[in-house]
Structure 1
Amino acid sequence: MRTLQHAISFKKYHGTGNDFLIIDAAEPVPDRGALAGKYCDRETGIDSPDGGRRGADGVLFLGLEDRFTPPRIVMTLVQPDGSVAAMCGNGARCTAAWGHDQIGADEFMIDTQAGTRHAQIEDETITIEMGEPAFDPSRVPLSTEYNGPLIEDDVEGLTVTAVNTGVPHAVAFVADVDDVDLTAVAPAVRHADVFPRGANVTLASPIDSDDPTAGFRQRTFERGVEGETRSCGTGAVAVVAAAKRTGRIETADPVTVTPPGGTLEIVVPDRGPATLAGPVAHEFDGELSVVVPGE
């Protein structure tokens, strides 16, 4: 069977620096993992027309179903290593922004592999419902040696708390996130035996050591990207959830979390789903070339 080159359209969005190529799920892409690996590469991937960063943190394949009220979007995130992530907070916020640009709606239900999430758009802020953070070892998940939650335990030399906020995170509170060589310490934790499906590794430090309610700075090494990203929404929620679980904060009010790419507002109530809020930007549109079977 011969093959043909086929051009497909994409849009590029980012949420506080967490950037994604967005492709309509109806487009013919025989190998989504290969496409993500090729075009997300930071050295050789898709180039920005305005001199911005090359590549992306993942590809969002989106299917809009506007016959529902509110409209629904089926979201599939394929990461640069070809894996599929069950949930991505900033990806879901970019999904809502894309949906708004398509049909003008300000509210969406977004279907992810971690469940259906409600998204609301108000002015420049997009808020996504993130589900309830889970510390239970079967839901993180942790290896069977853990009969209870992993709370501030040593994992490969880093003191971490394990929580699932749509995907698993190992959260470590440190004095200053910039004093840690994240790319050096994270891989061992990300692949540690205690995390049978791997884990994202998130560092957090207080914005003001004298005022815990001032929020946290954040850096995250993402599973599937296999490197540090400028922002991670599930990681920001994990920071606040872990801070509450370890007694660093008690508030159910919005908490500021600041990754390198911007500022996010997180609410982790005592009961019920957490929320993630922040801005989203549409960067540019373009076309990609994919190989499809011919006749």
Structure 2
Amino acid sequence: MNGAGNAILVLDLRGAGFLPAPEDARALARAPGLGYDQLMVLSDPRAPGQDAFMTIYNQDGSLSASCGNGTRCVAHYLAALTGAEQFRLATSAGPLAARREGPLSYSVDMGPPRLGWRDIPLAREVADTGSVELEKFGLPPASCVSMGNPHAIFFVPTIEAFDLAAIGPVLEHDKLFPQRANISLAQVLSRDAIRLRVWERGTGLTLACGTAVCATLVAAARASLTGRRATISLPGGDLVVEWRADNRIVMTGPVEVEFSRRLTPELFAP
């Protein structure tokens, strides 16, 4: 599936009693036709009222605690199976509530942002996580936010002025980020519109990243660059994000089914 262009592979292992190992996730990413940005593995609920537990892998086999675009895709997959309109999905970072807004549109309550330097996390104490000097590549200070995974957002006059493919992997592995970081270049167009390009931790350049758009809105609103609701445009499409008065962030956007198949050993033949 894809969510605003973010390539999502949904693997339903409910009832199977096991999870892929990191090397399995890497093998799936290399299998012909199965390349993905995130792999969303569904397993049995761990608490009453949940529809499924989601384990989220990046292309390199590393784990991610949250993926907004992937969660919308999972909701659409479950809607097709059950006809339900609302879903409660769990991750290692906590529960996520998803709701169908239209035939191919879903919203996800991504929960509250985490803004403390320990919560992001950063490797050292920072007085203001909204303005963190990295002093690399001529970039302005970063705004650092966690949405269950760490993000560093750089507000620039124009995205095209920087080569994200070159600077992304360097900043992802900067010593300031003990768990690495998602790196975003953001260009504010108006009080309710932002352009965004994302280097995704463990994946690389991506057409969209749901947690990045949430982190970017928080960073922009904290800096009074926008209000608390904006349309954020990525190469894969637009996502609408709102930072509500109750401190929770709701993201709304499209999903698309590309294909469905059963995995067989032949898919992984050299």
TM value normalised by structure 2? 0.89
Could you tell me how far apart the structure 1 residues matched to 2:63 and 2:69 are? 15
Q: What is residue 17 of structure 1 aligned with on the other side?
A: 5
User: Contact between 2:132 and 2:144, CA under 8 Å: does it hold in 1?
Assistant: no
Larger radius of gyration: 1
What is the Cα deviation at residue 111 of structure 1?
Answer: 0.1
Map of 1:1-295 to 2, 5 A cutoff?
A: 13-25=1-13, 26-27=15-16, 31-41=20-30, 45-47=31-33, 55-63=35-43, 72-123=51-102, 124-144=104-124, 146-155=125-134, 156-157=136-137, 158-159=139-140, 160-206=142-188, 208=189, 212-225=190-203, 227-249=204-226, 251-252=227-228, 254-290=229-265
Could you tell me how far apart the structure 2 residues matched to 1:102 and 1:64 are? 15
Kindly report the root-mean-square deviation, in angstroms, between the aligned alpha carbons of the 2 structures.
Answer: 2.2
What is the SS of the residue equivalent to 1:154?
A: coil
What is the Cα deviation at residue 185 of structure 1?
Answer: 1.0
User: Contact between 1:33 and 1:79, CA under 8 Å: does it hold in 2?
Assistant: no
Could you tell me how far apart the structure 1 residues matched to 2:246 and 2:20 are? 40
Could you tell me how far apart the structure 2 residues matched to 1:178 and 1:274 are? 28
Aligned length in residues: 261
2:213 partner amino acid: A
What is the SS of the residue equivalent to 1:188?
A: helix
User: Contact between 2:191 and 2:225, CA under 8 Å: does it hold in 1?
Assistant: no
Could you tell me how far apart the structure 2 residues matched to 1:202 and 1:262 are? 16
**Runs of 4+ in structure 1 over 3 Å off:** 26-32
User: Contact between 1:231 and 1:262, CA under 8 Å: does it hold in 2?
Assistant: yes
Could you tell me how far apart the structure 1 residues matched to 2:200 and 2:127 are? 25
User: Contact between 1:36 and 1:58, CA under 8 Å: does it hold in 2?
Assistant: no
1:86 partner amino acid: A
Percent of aligned pairs with the same amino acid = 30
Unmatched 5+ stretches in structure 1: 1-12, 48-53
Could you tell me how far apart the structure 1 residues matched to 2:41 and 2:61 are? 13
What is the Cα deviation at residue 29 of structure 1?
Answer: 6.4
Could you tell me how far apart the structure 1 residues matched to 2:223 and 2:252 are? 23
What is the Cα deviation at residue 136 of structure 1?
Answer: 0.4
What is the Cα deviation at residue 289 of structure 1?
Answer: 3.1
What is the SS of the residue equivalent to 1:283?
A: coil
What is the Cα deviation at residue 236 of structure 1?
Answer: 0.4
Unmatched 5+ stretches in structure 2: none
TM value normalised by structure 1? 0.82
What is the SS of the residue equivalent to 2:191?
A: helix
**Larger strand share, 1 or 2:** 1
Per-residue deviation, residues 73-113 of structure 1 (Å, max 9, x unmatched): 21111111111111111111111111111111110011011
What is the SS of the residue equivalent to 2:257?
A: strand
User: Contact between 1:32 and 1:78, CA under 8 Å: does it hold in 2?
Assistant: no
